[in-house]
Amino acid sequence: MGLFKGLKGEFIDIIQWLDDSSNTLVYRFERHDNEIKMGAKLTVREGQAAVFINEGQLADVFKPGMFTLSTQNLPILSTLRGWKYGFDSPFKAEVYFISTRNLTDQKWGTKNPIILNDNRFGMIEIRSFGTYVLKVKDPVAFIREIVGTDGHFTTEKIAEQLKSVIVTRFTDTIGEINPPVEMFAANLSELSTKVQEIMKPDFDVYGLELTKFLIENVSMPEEIKKEIFELSRLNVIDLNKLAQMKAAKAMEKAAENQSGTAGAGMGMGMGFAMANQMGGMFNQQSNQNPNQQNQNNTTPPPIPGALAIFVAVGGKQTGPFDENALKQMVSQNQLTKDSLVWKAGMASWVKASELAELNTVFTNVPPPIPSL
């Protein structure tokens, strides 16, 4: 019985790999004493490649098809074994089947947060994850650089190494592009394509091809999200409507806190007063010069009773100027009665002669000294 089993394994007629897995990249064909019969049938299916290795040296590569093994279709192996004039006896060689189909749904993600410097929010931390698809495009390079003598090589054995490459290139790309943090969600597709292009040479070295790379999500701290949402609302919100809405809510709340009809009337009165006050405030802001509004956000208001006048000089807004500065401008002929001026609360620019506050400025300035 043992003799029959040995004879049965001595010669192999069919060499093939029936792959029923979803993650196997390389499978070494098992054989008795590595002996292969000359004239054996080699079947390489679609999505596969077969590589013959002789005593650790890479030899012939077969693409999909059915082959009858002979010295004619094993030219490299024939040279290595010294088969100059043909050979019909069994020979020893290792056969590795490599899967060349797309291996989908490979996961990647950042183990640690990536630190970015945003122009508005300062130093922030982001995390990201997604999927990618890869396949072996150069079986010889893949065996040489990655597999070695591993007889059953799966994606799990290279996953960590590939994830490190992906995270490194993703971090470099983010740093190079440096988009505003709120733009990540809107540009995931473009960002995915950019990172895939950058990573292509890294996968080429291993004989692999990154056929698809997807960034599914970029997350950031909750407080940054809230600030982004608030800024986006301020960019599109109608301040007058916001004032009316808040006044209405205040009126309802005030009415609930009082009892009876008198309480409701008091609540309505308070609500209307608040609405008028807030509406007047926003109307005043909307009527002001836009540059003035920006300055009001960063500088304190003028001292009560002091002049704070803007002057148009050379078609550009200058100021605000107090009384002493205005007198100096009059003496230097930078401010005349025909100059356009503006102050807080005015709807538009007017001539200096029309602004009553400037009468003392023009009357208290001595006339120019006459030439001798």
Any domain includes 121? yes
Co-location of 114 and 164 in the same domain: yes
Find the domain containing 196 and state its range. Answer: 103-224
- Of 99, 129, 153, the residue at which a domain comes to its end is 99
Any domain includes 297? no
Determine the residue type at 279: G
- Up-side HSE of residue 184: CA atoms within 13 Å toward CB? 21
Q: Provide mean pLDDT across the span 299-323.
A: 76
* DSSP string of 118-154, one letter each residue: ETTTEEEEEEEEEEEEEEES-HHHHIIIIITT-SEEE
The C-alpha atoms of residue 103 and residue 318 are separated, in whole angstroms, by: 66
- Of 80, 99, 118, the residue at which a domain comes to its end is 99
Any domain includes 203? yes
Rounded (5°) CA angle 111-115-120 = 145
- Which region, left, alpha or beta, applies to residue 284 given φ > 0 means left and ψ of -120 to 50 means alpha? alpha
Co-location of 187 and 129 in the same domain: yes
- pLDDT tens sequence across 58-91: 899 999 999 999 888 888 888 888 887 777 778 8
- pLDDT tens sequence across 118-173: 777 778 888 899 999 999 999 999 988 888 767 788 888 888 888 888 998 888 88
State the pairing for strand pair 41-44/35-36. Answer: unpaired
CB 95 within 8 A of CB 78: no
The C-alpha atoms of residue 288 and residue 316 are separated, in whole angstroms, by: 16
Q: Which two tokens stand for residue 336?
A: 């005349």
Co-location of 54 and 119 in the same domain: no
Co-location of 107 and 219 in the same domain: yes
Q: How confident is the model at residue 2 (pLDDT cuts 50, 70, 90)?
A: very low
Any domain includes 294? no
Q: How far is CA 106 from CA 129, 152, 166, 300, in A?
A: 11, 19, 12, 58
The C-alpha atoms of residue 302 and residue 156 are separated, in whole angstroms, by: 70
Q: Which two tokens stand for residue 86?
A: 């043909």
Co-location of 21 and 83 in the same domain: yes
Co-location of 108 and 95 in the same domain: no
Co-location of 176 and 259 in the same domain: no
Q: How far is CA 268 from CA 141, 249, 257, 277, 280, in A?
A: 81, 11, 12, 14, 18
- pLDDT tens sequence across 216-269: 988 888 887 777 777 666 655 555 665 666 677 676 766 666 554 444 444 444
Co-location of 108 and 160 in the same domain: yes
Radius of gyration of the chain (CA): 41
In the predicted structure, residue 5 carries a pLDDT above the cut 60: no
Co-location of 163 and 53 in the same domain: no
- Give the CATH number for residue 349: 3.30.1490.40
Any domain includes 296? no
- Of 99, 114, 136, the residue at which a domain comes to its end is 99
Question: Which residues neighbour 47 within 8 Å (Cβ) at sequence distance 6 or greater?
Answer: 19, 64, 99, 100, 101
Count of the separate structural domains present in the chain: 4
Co-location of 206 and 167 in the same domain: yes
pTM of the complete model:
0.55
Co-location of 220 and 123 in the same domain: yes
Any domain includes 75? yes
Co-location of 113 and 92 in the same domain: no
Q: How confident is the model at residue 13 (pLDDT cuts 50, 70, 90)?
A: confident
Any domain includes 118? yes
CB 131 within 8 A of CB 103: no
Strand partners, 310: 342
Question: Which residues neighbour 94 within 8 Å (Cβ) at sequence distance 6 or greater?
Answer: 28, 29, 34, 52, 53, 54
Q: Provide mean pLDDT across the span 266-290.
A: 50
CB 209 within 8 A of CB 132: no
Any domain includes 301? no
- Give the CATH number for residue 155: 3.30.479.30
Distance of CA 317 to the CA centre of its chain: 41
